[in-house]
Amino acid sequence: MFEILLKNITRRIQLTSEETALFTSLLSVKKLKRRQFLVQEGEFNKYSAFVTSGCLRSYTVDKNGFEHVLQFAPQDWWITDMASFLHNLPGTLFIDAIFESEVVLIQRSGIEKLYQTIPQFERYFRILAENALVTYQRRLMDNLSLTARERYDHFCTRYPSLIETLPQKQVAAYIGVTPEFLSKMLNTGTGRKGQTETS
């Protein structure tokens, strides 16, 4: 049932079978259709979600109605509105499924129980947070110092499988350009188009 998640966890920490049982007792499963929301802006984000199939995204909508993607979460990734989840605040993000997806959910209270009974989980989530932190730092610096094309190329390098499955529009909302400009960029300039002709 929870193999993918357990495999992800045991890459960082070891659990006994009792610990595994306690852990899985805190989980639930949810299926999401394309476009279905996990949470919306303003709601309290009570769950952290681990994606077992499909792909989710978190994003904001600015005052002009444009979407800006904070994170894509394909299989084997966690996604949540961290600020809301950690500090019990109204959320600022929308999280929805880009394709039909399945996620494993855990509540804040479940995680706190884990910290108390299986301290190893402090380590697991510390490592996840540190890695995510480094990723966001790099992305921020990329946004400050690179051109749109360079940011696109970095995205292709770092997420080669996403570039093939996601609508271009979503990639544009992640790297911080309009869909129109991304399209033009790919069909004009001296382009590495990242095409994968099944030659």
Residues that bind DNA (CB under 7 A): 34, 64, 66, 147-149, 167-169, 176-181, 183-184, 186-187
Residues with Cβ within 8 Å of 38's Cβ and at least 6 positions away in sequence, in order, are 30, 32, 47, 49, 56, 79, 95, 96, 97, 103
Q: What angle do CA 96, 99, 100 make, to 5 degrees?
A: 95
What binding mask, one character per residue, do residues 149-178 give for its own copies by CB under 8 A, x or -? ---------------------------x--
Cβ closer to its own copies: 29 or 141? Answer: 141
- 68 contacts its own copies (rule: CB under 8 A): yes
Residue 105 site contact among DNA, its own copies, none (CB < 5 to 8 Å, cut-off depends on kind): none
Minimum distance, C-beta of residue 34 to its own copies, in the bound complex (Å): 24
Inter-CA distances, 68 with 3, 89, 129, 163, 169, Å: 32, 21, 22, 17, 11
Q: Which does 129 bind (CB under 5 to 8 A by kind): DNA, its own copies, none?
A: its own copies
Stretch that binds its own copies, among 19-27, 122-130, 159-167, 190-198 (CB under 8 A): 122-130
Asked if 96 contacts 37 with a C-beta cutoff of 8 angstroms, the reply is yes
> Using the rule CB under 8 A, which residue among 14, 17, 18, 144 binds its own copies?
144
- Please tell me the distance from the alpha carbon of residue 127 to that of residue 65, in angstroms, as a whole number: 35
Give the distance, in angstroms, between the CA of residue 123 and the centroid of all CA atoms in the same chain: 20
Point out which span in 2-10, 33-41, 138-146, 152-160 binds its own copies (CB under 8 A). 138-146
d(CA 73, CA 104): 13
Count Cβ atoms within 10 A of the Cβ of residue 42 and give its class: 0-12 exposed, 13-18 middle, 19 or more buried: exposed
CA atoms within 13 A on the CB side of 144: 6
Choose between 112 and 164: whose C-beta lies nearer to DNA. Answer: 164
**What is the contact surface with its own copies in residues (CB under 8 A)?**
60, 62, 66, 68, 70, 82-83, 86, 92, 115, 119, 122-123, 125-126, 129-130, 132-134, 136-141, 143-146, 176
